[in-house]
């Protein structure tokens, strides 16, 4: 059986390096990277103009930066939640934003967590533990999530 595919959507090379290092430490070997929102959509949904099919089908989860070129992370999240193929795809927001509006919109769109940059084994491990709990569990990723 092959390793699960993870999609990291990150435009900053330093944050990409740190996230990849963390994911590899956690045992995720097959991590694909999209460096802007349009590339992420094309990988997961295919070319919106109908020219190409999705290149990544059924990734285990997505780590999505909010501040992206071409198409921002909130719009990527909206598009993914609006498509039946990706409506239930686990998505974690990876950002340095502390904007309460961003957090509220991400929560409403079904993101599983709001993770601070840089990604660490501890912060992402906690997010994975919480997201494995049944809906309605009493634990949360953070006080303000």
Structural domains of the chain ordered from first start: 5-131 (3.40.50.2300)
Distance CA 32, CA 103 (A): 25
pLDDT in tens, 7-62: 999 999 999 999 999 999 999 999 999 999 999 999 999 876 566 777 888 899 99
pLDDT at 127: 77
Model confidence over 114-144: pLDDT tens digits? 888 888 888 888 877 655 543 333 333 444 4
Q: What is the pTM of this model?
A: 0.85
Strand intervals (E) in the chain: 5-9, 30-34, 61-65, 91-95, 113-116
Q: Which strands sit side by side in the sheet containing 91-95, from one edge to the other?
A: 30-34, 5-9, 61-65, 91-95, 113-116
Predicted local distance difference test score (pLDDT) of residue 129: 67
Residue 137: predicted pLDDT: 37
d(Cα 120, Cα 109) in Å, to the nearest integer? 24
Contact status, residue 30 vs residue 3, Cβ threshold 8 Å: yes
Q: Average of pLDDT values for 90-112?
A: 90
Task: Point out which residues pair with 94 in neighbouring strands.
Answer: 65, 115
- Res 49: pLDDT: 54
């Amino acid at each position: 059986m092959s390793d699960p595919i993870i999609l990291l959507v990150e435009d900053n090379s330093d944050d990409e390096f740190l996230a990849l290092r963390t994911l590899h430490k956690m045992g995720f070997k097959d991590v694909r990277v999209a460096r802007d929102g349009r590339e992420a959509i094309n990988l997961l949904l295919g070319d919106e103009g109908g020219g190409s099919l999705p290149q990544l089908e059924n990734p285990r989860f997505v780590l999505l930066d909010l501040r992206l070129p071409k198409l921002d992370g909130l719009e990527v999240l909206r598009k993914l939640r609006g498509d039946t193929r990706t409506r239930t795809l686990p998505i974690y927001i990876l950002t340095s934003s502390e904007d309460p509006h961003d957090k509220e919109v991400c929560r409403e769109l079904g993101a599983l967590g709001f993770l601070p940059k840089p990604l660490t084994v501890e912060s992402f491990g906690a997010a994975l533990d919480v997201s494995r709990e049944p809906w309605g569990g009493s634990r949360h990723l953070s006080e303000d999530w």
